[in-house]
Copies of this chain bind each other. A is one copy, B any other.
Amino acid sequence: MSSPHTVRSLAAHVGGTLLGDGVDAAITGVNDLRSAGPGQVSFFHNTKYEADARASKASAILVGPKDAERFTFTRIVVDSPSNAFAKISELFAPPPIRDEPGVHPTAVVAPDAILGEGISVGPHAVISAGVRLGARVVIGANCFVGEQAVIGEGTRLYPLVTVRERCILGARVILHSGAVIGADGFGYDFDRATGRHVKIVHTGHVQIDDDAEIGANTTIDRGRFGRTHIGEGVKIDNLVMIAHNVSVGAHSIIVSQTGISGSTTLGRYVTLAGQVGLAGHLKLGDRSTITAQSGINKDVPAGAVLAGRHAIPIRESLKLEALVHRLPELVERLKALEEKVLTDGSNASPKS
């Protein structure tokens, strides 16, 4: 199958300028610098990858204006190599998976469920009593949607997603496989008389607003009462834990394996990097950022960038780390002083 694309035609497609030879080579795909071979286009946007760019076997590489003259390989100069690459990638992308229209004959759909226009319900999916699915909702194979759940227009559940009873999803939400929405919160009262933990019934639900995306195997527990709330446009990665009655403000980003304890509230545009842990009942201000693997146990002001185990500003955290790394030197200096002072001034023998 001959490709209709050449380096030249792709440069024209993204409004780029050609530099170097071989601009009429046929192009059949895209790839990263290291993986790309002849017939593929790649892109360079980070000096960290300069060696990879020089060694790349790609037929052409997209570069920014400032890098135009540093290289000799065939290059397409554009303002944003990343954006141009995305545009070119679309030309070679495999066709998206076509969702089978309608309800697969093996799906189990309650008679009173309300199904919008243009929905797709996959094999072995289960839609319980009282569920409402908006127009163009896609429910993947083997998903479970519990009683009276409401799912907005254009929302997509990939295969094997669980949405428990009475949860509410907005429009264009994406839930990746293995996500569990609305499991019971983790709450018990301890009964001293019997020495047993007594389960607290969680009668609340989870509400996920428009355009949010929830990663694979992430869990979002239902509220004890009221709701656990994921705001509009929030993006949550895989294997994240969101406890009962948490509220995540609009457009926040939560990276993989982070955990948020019960009733903590995040403002808008908060960023939690990977493997962060937040204690319960905290408030994180708008646009605050917590760096990877940090542990936060007090409120965070708007705009703060905190790091480490104790919610201190990243600058201070880096300084303390540097000092910890200098401890061997500091101990030597202390010892030298002791020898000097104690030898000079007394008969006490210095400690080592």
- Which A residues lie at the B interface, using CB under 8 A? 30-32, 35, 46, 48, 82-83, 86, 89-90, 92-94, 97, 104, 106, 108, 122-124, 126, 140-142, 144, 146-147, 158-160, 162, 164-166, 174, 176-178, 180, 183-184, 186, 188-189, 195-197, 199-201, 203, 211, 213, 215-217, 219, 221, 225-227, 233, 235, 237-239, 241, 243, 245, 251, 253, 255-257, 259, 261, 263, 269, 274-275, 277, 279, 281, 292-293, 295, 297, 309-310, 312, 319-321, 323-328, 330-331, 333-334, 337-338, 340-342, 344-346, 351
Contact = CB atoms under 8 A, between A and B. Distances in A.
Contact of A31 (B82, B159, B225): B225
27 contacts: A31-B225, A35-B226, A46-B281, A86-B200, A89-B225, A92-B203, A93-B203, A108-B124, A122-B126, A160-B160, A162-B178, A176-B184, A183-B215, A186-B255, A195-B251, A195-B269, A197-B233, A197-B253, A216-B219, A217-B219, A241-B274, A256-B259, A259-B274, A275-B295, A330-B330, A340-B345, A340-B346
Given A162-B178, A199-B213, 10 more contacts: A126-B142, A144-B177, A158-B183, A176-B180, A176-B184, A183-B216, A239-B259, A275-B277, A279-B292, A320-B324
Most buried by B among A197, A201, A245, A312: A197
Contact of A341 (B106, B221, B325, B341): B341
B277 A277 contact: no
Contact of A241 (B203, B253, B256): B256
A180 B141 CA distance: 14
- State the main secondary structure of chain A at its contact with B: loop
When all copies of this chain in the complex are counted, the total is: 3
Contacts of A216: 162, 180, 183, 219, 221
Contacts of A281: 46, 48
Contact of A215 (B106, B186, B346): B186
A327 B320 contact: yes
A263 B35 CA distance: 12
Contact of A225 (B32, B331, B340): B32
A185 B174 CA distance: 13
